[in-house]
């Protein structure tokens, strides 16, 4: 039961990190393209062998990846 309680906290931490990256990108005037986020999230899903149950994790990670790419591009 203790392990189940930890998992939501880990997801919350990842969500906060992703939100921080997105917020930073928005402050820098970077527009996040949701179609690009969806494409990257699908790529993550595909690389994992299309195992289900990681949709939110993939989306948050995709947002982080896209935000970082946009910030690097300037």
For 48, the enclosing helix (H) or strand (E) is none
Mean pLDDT, all residues of the chain: 80
Q: Where are the domains of the chain?
A: 31-74
- In tens, the pLDDT along 7-31 reads 567 666 666 666 666 666 666 677 8
- Look at the chain and count its residues: 74
- In tens, the pLDDT along 39-48 reads 999 999 999 9
């Amino acid at each position: 039961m203790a392990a189940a309680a930890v998992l939501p906290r880990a997801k919350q931490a990842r969500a906060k990190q992703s939100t921080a990256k997105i917020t930073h990108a928005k402050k820098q005037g970077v527009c996040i393209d949701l179609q690009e986020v969806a494409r990257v999230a699908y790529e993550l899903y595909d690389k994992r062998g299309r195992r289900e149950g990681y949709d939110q994790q993939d989306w948050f990670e995709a947002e982080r990846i896209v935000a970082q790419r946009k910030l690097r591009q300037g």
